[in-house]
Amino acid sequence: MSRAILQVMIRGRVQGVGYRAWVEHQAITSGLEGWVRNRRDGGVEALFAGPPNHVADMVALCRHGPPSSRVDSLTSETAGADELNLRRAGEAFSVLPTV
């Protein structure tokens, strides 16, 4: 089975609206691995790993976000498996501290 790993940057009204918790729930429900974190610049950064169609669906969901958010832009790029090491030990998907 093939596997995709994408790193995503989301900008807009995405902090203080439950965006990270929403991403965590959606990713776990989709069976994805990875992480999500706020950035000091006001954006949210996430990494998704899993079957390519599940990763693509997750990125599409992130373009809309939870009801209280407003996504102005989303960029994604292919990432390496090393990036998964940022997760907390024993977790498939982690909410990480702000960077």
The 10 Å Cβ neighbour count of residue 93 is: 23
Evaluate whether 98 touches 37 at the Cβ level (below 8 Å): yes
Q: Could you give the residue numbers annotated as active site?
A: 20, 38
